[in-house]
Structure 1
Amino acid sequence: MAHVVTCFVRERGQILLTRRSDAVGTYRGHWAGVSGYVEGGPAAAERDAWRELREETGLTREDLELVRAGDSLTVDDEEGSFTVHPFLFESDTREVRTNEELAAVEWVDPTAIRSRRTVPRLWDTWRRVGPTVETVRSDRTHGSAWIAARALEALRDAAADADEWATIAAVARDLRDARSGMAAVRNRVNRVMSAASRSPDSVVKRAISARDAALDADSDAAQTAADRLRADGATRVATLSRSGTVREALETCDPEAVVVAESRPEREGIEVAEWAADATNSDVTVTTEAALPSALAARDVDAALVGADAVLPDGTVVNKTGTRVLGLAAQAQGVPVFVVSARDKVVAADSDSETGRSATTEQSRPESVYDGDADVEVHAPTFEFVPGELVDGIATEGGFLHREEVSQIAERYAADAQWAVE
């Protein structure tokens, strides 16, 4: 039995589908991912996945990030017997250069697979690597905007496979609860379920629309933040953690200098610093959270910009641990602190709003802080509260929010949550 790879390349939620040309030996004219034979046995599948991507699309490791490899599956029909090894990659570009094996390419939502003439079991192959409840629950490196997009895609795929509303509702509840501290996940899932007409097709369509709107909202919020930094003449900015919205804002305003806290214990701030050094013209400094106060002074920082995983109805911000240190240090030195966040990160003002506060009970891996034998407890929360008094403004897709506006938005989101109790 031959071994083959199927690579799905995703950019802004859509994937690259390829139509196989007459130059290939099997499934001519069928739609597929980027695919090809594994030349060195199953153990070489990942290596050959990268090779096929380079040969068929021109995409390289500079353009792509490997998200996950899925469990293999078997295809057995008149064209042959194959063991398919699925891979999912994230791309930062849609510019591809195809070779003679591809007759056409299109960027589409993954659900388009279900209505195309494809290679066998392509939808099943996608489901091996597509987002799931566990994807949402276990991600400890991406910000809530990314995770919320994955939640909507997991809901979409579950609805595409479902025959009844109860099945979809169960997945939606699991997704809402998978990251209880991330308001964007709950609000966006709630909005889809509240507006859907209790049919799988309706959920699929609304989940896709909600994801696309969410991606636009984050970009618009980033633009709001960048415009404010420019208007204030801020050229030396401090940040921490891994917020895609913050990164987009920094890339847009391109400050003279960026100070990045490493974001212990997972240290995802290191990746942000490396990105800033490559994607901007800024002088980049990495520091620890403990050294943030002195770093702000030593680097003459004139603004702090952070993301948010949730904004409570009273204006309190929930974000990665270290944000409060940054806020206190900035306040002591007269440096404004701006939060950049889509409005959907406001926690609904209902009896369930305490779930926003539960974010601070989420713990990082204890061994990432201490793995010795002494009888000690580890306190390593992933998120923490940042009092509204430390925040000078929340940049959203609709401009800057004041506290009274946060409360009004929270009331609207409470209404969307009622689908689960009807």
Structure 2
Amino acid sequence: MAHVVTCFVRERGKVLLTRRSDAVGTYRGRWAGVSGYVEADPTEAEDDARRELREEVGLTDGDLELVRTGETVAVEDEGGSFVVHPFLFESDTREVTTNEELAAVEWVDPTAMLERETVPRLWETWRRVAPTVETVREDRTHGSAWISARALEALRDAAAEADGADSDGAPARVDVLDTARDLRDARPEMAAVANRVNRVVAEGAGQDAGPDCLVRRAIEAIEAAFEADAEAARTAATRLREAEATAVATLSRSGTVRQAIAGLTAADSAVSELLVAESRPECEGVAVAEWAARETNAGVTLTTEAALPTALLAPEVDAVLVGADSILPNGDVVNKTGTRVLALVARDLGVPVYAVASKDKVRPAGASDGENDDAQASAPDVESPPERVYDGDADVSVHAPTFEVTPAALVDGVATEAGLLDGEEVRSIAAEHAGNATWEA
């Protein structure tokens, strides 16, 4: 039985489908991912996957990030017997260069696989690497904007399968709503996950609506989410340009902050220095510093939170930009531990602090809105792995909260797709999100 790879390449929620040409030996004219034979040890099929991506569509390791390797799929039909090794890659470009094995390529929503003539079991192969409730719940690498998009993809795929399995919609609709509940509750610390799922269900799951309506709304919501995050990043970059910032400090790993930094450190930008705090104990800031050193024109300095009081002076930082996992209705910012220390130091030095977040990161009104609570009481009860702080044998307990609350008084503005929000605008958005969350009532 031959071993083959199937690579799904995703960019902003769309995946690359390829139509096989007459130059290939099997499944001519059918749609597939980027595929090819495993030429050596099947346990090292990733090497073959990357080779096929280079040869068939011209995507190199520099263009791609491996997201997930899936369990194999066995295929047996008139075309042959194959063991398919699925891979999912994230791409930073949609520019591809095809070879003679491909007759056409398209960037499409993955549910298009259900409507086209494809190689055998392509949708099942996709589902082996596609986002699920479990991957949304367990992701400790990406920020909330990225994870919320994955939650919408998981909801879309569940609705697509339900739509195909049940024509009258009633039992299938119940199953999809169960998935929606699980996704909504998967990451309570990340408001965007619940808000985006709630909006799709509230707008697409009326009493007479079938799963197909949820599929359409989820696809629209994925596209809107990416645009909202990008526009929030543009708002932040514009604000810092207006402030004539030349040195910016940040911490942790936020995709929206990275978009803003990319714009701020372009060749024609005045921002030439970037200070990145490690964001202990999991040190996500290290990857941000490496990315900035590789992808931007700025000089990059990596520091610890303990060293921030001196690090902000050399070079002299004139703006702080952080992400947000949630914005409370009172304007407090919930983000990775270390944000509050950074904001306090910045206040003492007279440096403005901005959080960048889409409006979907505002927590619904009534959900621990913090109006009368101790600030830290509104932070989600999530701990970093204790061994990141201490892995010795002594009888030592570890306190390593992943998130904390930075009071609104320490934040000069929240940059969103609608501009810099004031307190009244945040409260209005929180009320809207609360209304979407009542779809079960």
For Structure 1 versus Structure 2, the TM-score category normalised by the shorter chain is over 0.9
Q: Match for residue 238 of structure 1?
A: 249
Q: Match for residue 53 of structure 1?
A: 53
Q: Match for residue 195 of structure 1?
A: 203
Which of 372, 384, 391 is equivalent to 2:392? 372
Contact 1:18-1:32 within 8 A present in 2 as well: yes
In structure 2, the CA distance between the partners of 1:352 and 1:393, relative to structure 1 (3 Å rule), is closer
1:155 & 1:128 partners in 2: Cα distance?
A: 15
Give, in angstroms, the shift of residue 378 of structure 1: 1.2
1:351 & 1:10 partners in 2: Cα distance?
A: 34
1:62-81 to structure 2, matched below 5 A, reads 62-81=62-81
Q: Match for residue 401 of structure 1?
A: 421
Per-residue CA deviation, residues 171-225 of structure 1 (Å, 9 max, x unaligned), is 1111111100111011100000000134111111101101110100011111111
Q: Match for residue 384 of structure 1?
A: 404
Which of 239, 242, 247 is equivalent to 1:228? 239
1:32 & 1:89 partners in 2: Cα distance?
A: 15
Q: Match for residue 253 of structure 1?
A: 264
SS in 2 for 1:154: helix
1:267 aligns with 2:278: no
Q: Match for residue 325 of structure 2?
A: 309
Q: Match for residue 341 of structure 1?
A: 357
Q: Match for residue 92 of structure 1?
A: 92
Per-residue CA deviation, residues 202-249 of structure 1 (Å, 9 max, x unaligned), is 111101101110100011111111111011111100001111111111
In structure 2, the CA distance between the partners of 1:308 and 1:357, relative to structure 1 (3 Å rule), is farther
In structure 2, the CA distance between the partners of 1:351 and 1:231, relative to structure 1 (3 Å rule), is closer
Q: Match for residue 300 of structure 1?
A: 316
Letter in 1 for 2:323: G
The runs of 5 or more residues in structure 2 that have no matched partner are 167-171, 266-270, 371-375
Contact 1:342-1:397 within 8 A present in 2 as well: yes
1:410 & 1:115 partners in 2: Cα distance?
A: 38
1:106 aligns with 2:106: yes
The count of corresponding residues between Structure 1 and Structure 2 is 420
Per-residue CA deviation, residues 311-354 of structure 1 (Å, 9 max, x unaligned), is 00111100011101100010010000000110010000135768
SS in 1 for 2:351: coil
Give, in angstroms, the shift of residue 359 of structure 1: 4.6
Letter in 1 for 2:320: A
SS in 2 for 1:237: strand
Q: Structure 1 length normalisation: TM-score?
A: 0.97
1:184 aligns with 2:184: no
2:70 & 2:58 partners in 1: Cα distance?
A: 23
In structure 2, the CA distance between the partners of 1:117 and 1:93, relative to structure 1 (3 Å rule), is same
1:267 & 1:295 partners in 2: Cα distance?
A: 17
2:101 & 2:16 partners in 1: Cα distance?
A: 15
Contact 1:393-1:400 within 8 A present in 2 as well: yes
Q: Match for residue 298 of structure 2?
A: 282
1:379 & 1:75 partners in 2: Cα distance?
A: 50
SS in 1 for 2:126: helix
Contact 2:229-2:358 within 8 A present in 1 as well: yes
SS in 2 for 1:258: strand
SS in 2 for 1:297: coil
Letter in 1 for 2:280: R
Contact 1:153-1:211 within 8 A present in 2 as well: yes
Which of 220, 223, 227 is equivalent to 1:216? 227
1:112 & 1:351 partners in 2: Cα distance?
A: 37
1:84-163 to structure 2, matched below 5 A, reads 84-162=84-162, 163=166
Give, in angstroms, the shift of residue 409 of structure 1: 0.9
1:393 & 1:351 partners in 2: Cα distance?
A: 22
Letter in 2 for 1:309: D
Q: Structure 2 length normalisation: TM-score?
A: 0.93
Letter in 1 for 2:386: P
1:154 & 1:384 partners in 2: Cα distance?
A: 28
1:140 & 1:358 partners in 2: Cα distance?
A: 20
1:48 & 1:348 partners in 2: Cα distance?
A: 46
SS in 2 for 1:384: strand
Contact 2:364-2:434 within 8 A present in 1 as well: yes
Letter in 2 for 1:370: Y
SS in 1 for 2:185: helix
Letter in 2 for 1:269: G
Contact 1:181-1:358 within 8 A present in 2 as well: no
Alignment RMSD? 1.3
Per-residue CA deviation, residues 127-167 of structure 1 (Å, 9 max, x unaligned), is 00000111111111211000000000000011111241111
Contact 1:180-1:358 within 8 A present in 2 as well: no
